[in-house]
Chain A
Amino acid sequence: MLNFARRYGTLIGFVLILVLFSARLPDTFMTARNWLNITQQLSMLMVVAAGMTIVMVMGDFDLSVGSMASLSGIVAALLFTLGYPIWLALGLALLVGLAGGLFNGVLVALTGILPFVATLATLTMFSGAAFVVSGGKTISGRAIPEAFGNFARDGVALGPVTLPNLTILAAVVVLVVFVLLEQTTFGRRLYAIGGNIEAAHLSGVKVRRLKLIAYALTGFAAALGGLMYASRVASANPTQGSGLMLNAIAAVFLGMTMSEQGEPRILATVIGVLIIGVLDNGLTQMSVDSYVRQILVGAIIVLAVAASSISKSSRR
């Protein structure tokens, strides 16, 4: 019984939230239109959280994803103002993400700094770099190519509904991360590191190299999330991604409460992101104070994790 509550508590909570909102907002919540809105609204968080899942599988963290998201947006916008073609500007911004992630990997895997400390340092560095590159200003208006801003507003028409581009992009990222973590040797080795790093090392897993790659991928996803954000607001600001980091970690944590051994799973992360996004969407529509959502997300994490640790201690 307790084990059931531990494993499915979060999922049941999520279903209850859906039932509550459906009952309170009968005409507007469970509509295709609203769900397309929701998937679009949380697409950036979904991409960053998917990237975060990769390092958290190894039991690590990346606190720098939010400032990397800001930095990549700023880099792309600056290159736009210098007249670079869109594809090149975006490509270079993604490379910045890859390089920044790799730098995190070097600090953690090669230098041996604790992930918390290393990525806290790079959080500050990336954020500072975003301010230096932009001169602290918001880059918007004519500097941003219309096609870039239109991307986030457009979608692929599927019969009566239009699937937003941002939603499709987020789904593709989730799919790629799913294949990577669940279907490849690379993924299984990351889980091995997360399970027992010494054992993984002794059994021949190249821990350092895998950590480098994992951090680089997380940085890349953060940069992609930042570019999606920049496209949605058709502008770039040196702090605009900062809210993504805590929400991404919260989403992965929410997901972790649903897996067998408490390890992160990408599909569970998706549920975690949905909980955050749906609470935002539903509570706004119910005119509930936006600060209450933060309290609820925190409370759900505490409840879910508490259920998990209580069931563990009762087994002893």
Chain B
Amino acid sequence: MNVTLVLFLIVVGITLVITGWAARRTRTTVQFWAAGRSIKGWQNGLAISGDYMSAASFLGIAGLIAFNGYDGFMYSVGWLVAYLTVLFLIAEPMRNTGKYTLADVISYRMSPIPVRSAAAFSTVAVSASYMMAQMIGAGSLIKILIPSLDTALKPWFNWTVLGTKLDPSITLVGVLMMIYVIAGGMVATTWVQIVKAIFLMGGAVLLSFLVMLHFGFNFGSFFDSIAGVKDSKSGLNFTQPGILYAYGKTQVWGVDKALLENVSLGMALILGTAGLPHILMRFFTVPNAKAARQSVAWAMGLIGSFYIMTTFLGFGAATLVGKAKICATVAPKCTPNSNLAAPRLAEYLGNSFFGTGGGEFLLAFIAAVAFATILAVVAGLTLAASGAFSHDFYVNVVRTHILHGQVSDREQVLVARITAALVGLLSIWLAARVGATANVAALVAGVAFVIASAANLPAILFTLFWKRFNTWGAVASLVGGSLVTIWLVAIGPGWTVPVNANPAFPLQNVGIVSIPIGFVLAIVGTYLGELVKADRLAEQKFHEIDVRAQTGLGAEPVADVA
């Protein structure tokens, strides 16, 4: 075992102890799902940041900037501005009308069986695709920490599942994470997210500080150095837009393709957050609408500061390390893996400031922070996916309307665990299919955020603000929006490096097509539902949800914490 690995395991061990401690403090249902609704605004803001800033934000964006310069920074911008959508339209009404999950709000006006089933489907789709990227991030970290693992495991690990060869590192770390999350009672408690958010901010501040120290805290010379990095293909320097998607090269539907990609990406980034089940669940943990908006304010402050720091992480890796050396195993002509930009930057900075041991130490520390980040996000996603399935689908559809009878807590937890395991395995398989060198930020923004904006966002917005919206419309957007997105991504260029050169759908970012389709499906579904007079209750119920969403009348109260 090398020093880096030992240090890594120590830091991860500390995180696990904290998680275990937090798990034991969770007893009742309200405590488990909604933390007793007693979380303060600033605590919830930190927890939202913890849930939100995943491998995509840390490893992914740093890598996109390190490999493509300025264009990667667009992800940081969009992922912060997204919170205005959440703050203005979603956070307070969700708190006022919701209970445990996204489906609680939508099914409030609608027929519970179809809507809960559809919401469970879209929640699992968002969570699995989100988790796929986390698995890639974790797998990449293992590849950098234990370079020989893939080769060592090869004799025992030569499995092809449904045409996809499993990746040993991703599978091993993915299965271990899932076992931990499932056996540990699936804790993604507020405290775990808070601790992790602080770790992550600390890691980012440290790296940014060291990058600036390297440049003598002179922004001018930092940017001079960035402008000195040139993209070989376009000849642009790294401060200039147009490297990730080259402008003016090809046209799609009569419009510049790069422009479409960037606008499409922007749509997914700023609309997707408002449809992420694991983020929306966080608003059910606070006592009232005021605390909900305060938690968004805290989250925006933290997340925004973090994303501004991606300038230092990403450009720092571009200038100090360079794309050619950002690989799992550094060798001449190695395969670059953009997810490893931040760890390689840490190693470089450690070596240059603290000598040889310093590089190993800082690499281990940043890898551990990234791993803790991934583990906490995986726990949050598992909670959202298994919650949607066991609470919304199993308890409220199967056991309430089909197989009558009391559901014991044990039964519900068992269903949740089985769901979690299946979603975990699905995401491991998807991760292997996409490959470990796919950028995790691009992947999350390109799949999970698009499903969230095409399927969940229309359903949520129309439930809250459109009187005529009904069950048919909700099911059409939840299921249709998810399926259209998944289909377009599947036939598009994809994110595997290198991308599919001859795709049936031209764009990597499919949001510009699938998000409008999601909204249109919601509207068409609603009118079809009206034609067959399927659902008259939905309109009656609108008055109630309208008043409750705006005023907080009859909202779920703070639970007695015994």
Q: Is this pair of chains taken from one and the same complex?
A: no
